Amino acid sequence: MPVISSFKKKSIMTEPIRNYNIFGTPQEPYFNNKVTGLTKKILLEWLTSLNEENEKRISCIAEHVGLFKYGEFAEFVFLTCEKFNQPDEVKYIALELFDSFMVKHIEELYKHFLLSEKYTKKSDWLAVQERIRNQVMLRITSCCQIASKLNSHYKVVLNSKIRKLLTEFGHNYSNESILQSEMRVLKTLNYKLSISSPVLYLETILELLGLDDPTLQIKVMYVICIKILDIVYLEHRTAYSKLYCSLTGQHDFTASEGEKFSAVENNKVFLAVSIIATGAYIMDQKITDKIIDSLCALTSIPLEDIVDFAAILVQMIADAKPNMNLP
């Protein structure tokens, strides 16, 4: 099914593998491993499952989703996970958790505010908002901690590390307060933590590309794609505003148009294939057309949709390349 056709005016060196350590999570994915790797049939079934999950999610997107996982929020999560030496998957799971938590947390507090006799003035709600802002760093670190536990038992972020980091930013929390914050996040999310990050989509599709063409330097492409994904999350508004303008010729959209475009912004399959196409172009322009054809065949996303967004991302990456350490 076309991803963004309704918005258009027209279509338009591999590192040595480290010894496997059963007590830890590898620092990078082991693509196309002959011993532990999955078969193409299983991977295709997994990709189908991910695509169904993706379609289900974007068909019923809740209001305000995405307000807390881009820009400055993404930057702080990235820096926090880097400080804790966490893999890429953790930082993107943490962003998903933080975004979901903050939306529900604020909604719950506002409902409580409306029903409470204690809070009657606008200034009272402003005080609540100020408290929420003061707790943002604590909530982010709690989401990073939870994400680390979901990813690996080996590199769990400990309360002592969180406390030390928060102290560096002038926030003095006890271990008990940090534990209570973690529990608050879990309870607010009703312990529903099964979240597929965009990294999972990237890894699955890259694994399939590597099976189809063993000559592809999948690990190199993965590193490039993660850097591009970081840029998209940090510059999300710019990237998708340019996409919307490219497709419609308009810089602004109405509420109904924004609601429709929200499905594009939250489509993780579309994001993954666009980033892979961009990564292929950066790594080796000669393979780009072949990669895009393979992406279309795997996901049924129209070629012109992928090319449209990839062209925007290539320009953004070209502008940011001096700071990205790309090949």
As a whole number, mean pLDDT of residues 226-246 equals 93
As a whole number, mean pLDDT of residues 167-173 equals 91
> Looking at residue 52, what is its pLDDT?
93
CA nearest to 185, candidates 157, 154, 133, 147:
147
By mean pLDDT, which of 32-46, 238-252, 257-271, 297-311 is the weakest? Answer: 32-46
Instruction: Provide CB contacts within 8 A for 39, sequence distance 6+.
Output: none
Please determine, for residue 153, whether its predicted confidence score (pLDDT) is greater than 70.
no
> Looking at residue 39, what is its pLDDT?
86
Rounded-to-integer distance, Cα 270 and Cα 305, Å: 8
As a whole number, mean pLDDT of residues 9-25 equals 37
Q: Which CATH class is domain 72-188?
A: mainly alpha
> Looking at residue 27, what is its pLDDT?
52
> Looking at residue 318, what is its pLDDT?
82
As a whole number, mean pLDDT of residues 103-131 equals 83
As a whole number, mean pLDDT of residues 60-83 equals 89
> Looking at residue 68, what is its pLDDT?
94
> Looking at residue 126, what is its pLDDT?
87
Rounded-to-integer distance, Cα 158 and Cα 220, Å: 31
Percent of the chain with pLDDT over 70: 84
Quote the pTM value: 0.85
Rounded-to-integer distance, Cα 210 and Cα 84, Å: 31
Owner of token pair 């505003």: 241
**293 touches 300 (CB < 8 A):** no
pLDDT bin (cut points 50, 70, 90) of residue 16 is: very low
Please determine, for residue 245, whether its predicted confidence score (pLDDT) is greater than 70.
yes
**287 touches 280 (CB < 8 A):** yes
Owner of token pair 């309870």: 187
Identity (one letter) of the amino acid at 98? F
By mean pLDDT, which of 23-37, 92-106, 272-286 is the weakest? Answer: 23-37
By mean pLDDT, which of 33-47, 195-209, 250-264 is the weakest? Answer: 250-264
Please determine, for residue 186, whether its predicted confidence score (pLDDT) is greater than 80.
yes
> Looking at residue 13, what is its pLDDT?
30
> Looking at residue 256, what is its pLDDT?
67
Rounded-to-integer distance, Cα 90 and Cα 107, Å: 26
Identity (one letter) of the amino acid at 129? Q
Please determine, for residue 110, whether its predicted confidence score (pLDDT) is greater than 90.
no
What are the tokens at 50? 């991910």
CA nearest to 147, candidates 71, 69, 211:
69
**119 touches 125 (CB < 8 A):** yes
> Looking at residue 25, what is its pLDDT?
46
Mean pLDDT taken over the chain:
85
> Looking at residue 259, what is its pLDDT?
72
Domain spans of the chain? 5-15+25-61+196-323, 72-188
